[in-house]
Structures are given as structure tokens and as C-alpha cells.
Amino acid sequence: MPHVIGVDLGGTKTAAGVVSSSGEVLMLETIPTLNRAGGEAILDATAALITGLVERAADAGMSVSGVGVGSAGVIDAVAGTVVSATDAILGWAGTSLVSGLSSRLSLPATSVRAVNDVHAHALGEAWLGAAAGSSSSLMVAFGTGVGGSFVLDGSPVLGHRFVGGHVGHFASPLAVSDGLPVPCVCGSAGHVEAIASGPAIYESYLRFGGSSSEVLDTRGVFALAASAHDGGAGATTAGDRTAALRAIDIGASAAGQAVGGLINILDPETVVISGGLADAGELWWKPMETALRKELLTPLVSVPVVRARLGNTAAIVGAAKLVLQ
């Protein structure tokens, strides 16, 4: 029975696992991503991580036939190169990902494949997760950023220039402050990610008058909002709690509105919502789904909208699927 290595290479950590042909993650290891050391150093560390897993698999009587990688950045899945990347990983853009790993691992280039990490995540959910059995699925992840992927007949739609899935970077009517579009990390303004990401919710909290002395980040905003619902007080004022609730509501509403619009365009069989905000509870989920449902055209009103199921292994499983299929 064939086994492959699936790799989830992100800006903070790189996780890899030995995956069976049925999608079971049998062994798992994680290392910090050397995100300030440049592309070659990252390839060296990733190859060492993979080699260790191959050796562990061999000790257990399993052979590894290939490596699939879901990587941060825009990935040319044909050439196996990093087209572009943010400063979260310095020197990553231009890296020859597939050839660099195949040469380090003494594997033929045909045995190594790579896509963007969100596409890998969506492929994992489409294969064995929340969208299993669906002929098409839209996955949108809301966390530090906003990303997505449309999986059709078992393959993610990558786009002509491999930029498909950047669903955080189109206009949101809610991404406005004092009549001006809110700046986005991509350099533009008024985008979905500028109002609906985790960091954006914290920035909204501050814009709405929330204090930064007691609430330091997005987790703090959610904790404060939850205490407001529970009648808690703590050291914060009523104004801070109101700002927290308002920031979450507008961020969740922008998220739902954006996903609803995408559903109208793509008509997926199943919609999967992923990321840290999707796991933040009903404070976020309810206004998100309410806004989403308001956007839908009549034939789409019953589309299933579900939380992702595979958790931290989704991109590993999806990356493995690249070389298993």
C-alpha cells in the first residue's frame, strides 16, 4: 500500500505527516518555519523534516513514494515555483520549491507536487472532511488572513496565473471607516480581509473606541464580548464591551456577505468555513451565517454551510492527495 508525505508549510510552522492511501495521517512532526532565513534555508529544513519521517516510516515497514506540499504564497503548480509571497516568509518568492525538494530528497520531480496551502486545506476537506462526497465545494478560511478555494471534481481551481482563491481581496461595502475604505495588507483598501480577518476585528475594536490597555489582541476581543453576553465586567468599561461586540458583528457580517456572494457566483454543492474565527463560537458564526443567507439567490437558499472538520491535518491530507491521485 503506497504512503506519501504531506507537508503544510506556513509562515510560522511547517508540519508534515506520513499519509496512507486512505488519507490516514500515521506519523506527524512539526518544526518552526525559518521565515527570516530565505528560501534555500527553508528548503533545507523542510527536506530534513521529510527525511526524518521517511526514515521513521521505513522503520515501521512503510515505503514513501512521493511528497505533496501545501505552501504559503502563490504557487505555480505546473513549474513548482513560488510566484509571490508576503513578508511573512522573507525570500520565499522565486524559490524553486518542487525541484529544490526533489533534488534534496533524491526523488524524481514527478514524485513531488505543490500548491498553495489553502488549496491543500480545501482539497483535504473535500476528500475526507466536511465536504467529503461533494462534487464541488467552496472553502473559505477566516483567520490571520482570508483565503479560499473552489474544489471541482476533486481538484482545486487554481486559476490561469495560480492566483485563484484570494477571496479576501475583493471589495466589501463594510470595509469603510469615516467614509474611507479601510487599508488592506495587500496594499489596496476596502477589501474583505481588511474588515473580516482576525487582526481586522481587533483594529475595528480600537476604531470603535475600545481600550488597548486591557484587550491586547483578537482573542481578547472575543473574551470581552463573551463576558458581555454573560454579564461579566472585569476591568473593562461598558464602552469597551460594546466596541468588542460591534467589531465582531461587523467582521462576521462582512465575512458572511462575501461568502454569500461567492456562492451566488460558483453554486457549490457544499460550503466549508474554516480558520480560527470559524472556531470562535456562535458570537461569530451566527452573524456570519445570517449575513451569508441574506445574500443568496432563491435557488441557493438551502446550500449546506458547515464548519471544517479536519483541523490542523487538513492541509497535510490535501497535500498528500496531490500525489496519491
pLDDT, one tens digit per residue, over 4-36 is 999 999 999 999 999 999 999 999 999 999 999
- pLDDT value, residue 236: 66
User: In this model, does residue 278 exceed pLDDT 70?
Assistant: yes
**In the prediction, which pLDDT does 58 show?**
96
Residue 154 has pLDDT above 90, yes or no: yes
Given a contact cutoff of 8 angstroms between Cβ atoms, the answer to whether 120 and 113 are in contact is: no
Tell me the pLDDT band of 231, cut-offs 50, 70 and 90. Answer: low
pLDDT at 261 over 70: yes
Q: Residues 188, 227: contact at Cβ < 8 Å?
A: no
pLDDT at position 12: 94
**CA dihedral over 51, 311, 134, 301, signed as positive or negative:** negative
pLDDT higher than threshold 60 for residue 232: no
Sequence letter at residue 232:
G
pLDDT at 60 over 60: yes
pLDDT confidence of residue 228:
73
The residues that bridge with 71 in the sheet, in sequence order, are: 9, 116
Least confident of 3-7, 231-235, 299-303: 231-235
Average pLDDT taken over every residue of the chain: 95
Spatial contact of 287 and 174, defined as CB atoms under 8 Å apart: no
Q: Which of 56, 72, 45 is nearest to 17 (CA)?
A: 56
**CB atoms < 10 A from the CB of 190, how many?**
19
How far is the CA of 35 from the CAs of 93, 133, 213, 284, in angstroms? 12, 36, 30, 31
pLDDT above 80 (res 101): yes
% of the chain surpassing 70 pLDDT: 97
> Which ranges in the chain belong to alpha helices (H)?
39-59, 97-105, 117-128, 193-196, 198-207, 218-229, 238-266, 282-295, 314-324
Query: Cell for 244?
Result: 468588542
Q: Which residues contact 204 (CB under 8 A, 6 or more apart)?
A: 195, 246, 247, 250, 251
**Predicted local distance difference test score (pLDDT) of residue 325:** 81
Contacts of 169 (CB under 8 A, 6+ apart): 184, 186, 188, 191, 192, 193
Kindly state the percentage of the chain with pLDDT values over 90.
94
Mean pLDDT calculated for residue range 178-184: 97
Q: How many residues does the chain have?
A: 325
Lowest mean pLDDT segment, chosen from 75-89, 109-123, 218-232, 239-253: 218-232
**Dihedral-angle region of residue 77 (phi above 0 means left; psi in -120 to 50 means alpha; beta otherwise):** alpha
Q: Is the pLDDT of residue 234 over 60?
A: no
Is the confidence at residue 214, as pLDDT, over 90? no
How many angstroms separate the CA atoms of 124 and 237, rounded? Answer: 43
Q: What is the mean pLDDT of residues 128-143?
A: 98
Residue 235 clears pLDDT 90, i.e. is over it = no
The number of CA neighbours under 13 Å toward the Cβ of 19 is 30
Mean pLDDT value across residues 75-92: 96
Identify the CA nearest to 69 among candidates 113, 126, 20. Answer: 113
Q: How far apart are CA 291 and CA 289, in angstroms?
A: 5
Backbone torsion region of residue 276, taken as left when φ is above 0, otherwise alpha when ψ lies between -120 and 50, otherwise beta: alpha
Q: What confidence score (pLDDT) does residue 31 get?
A: 98
Q: Which structural domains are found in the chain, ordered by start? A: 3-129+312-324 (3.30.420.40), 136-308 (3.30.420.40)
Q: Which 3 state secondary structure label does DSSP give 118?
A: helix
Is residue 180 within 8 A of residue 158, CB to CB? The reply is no
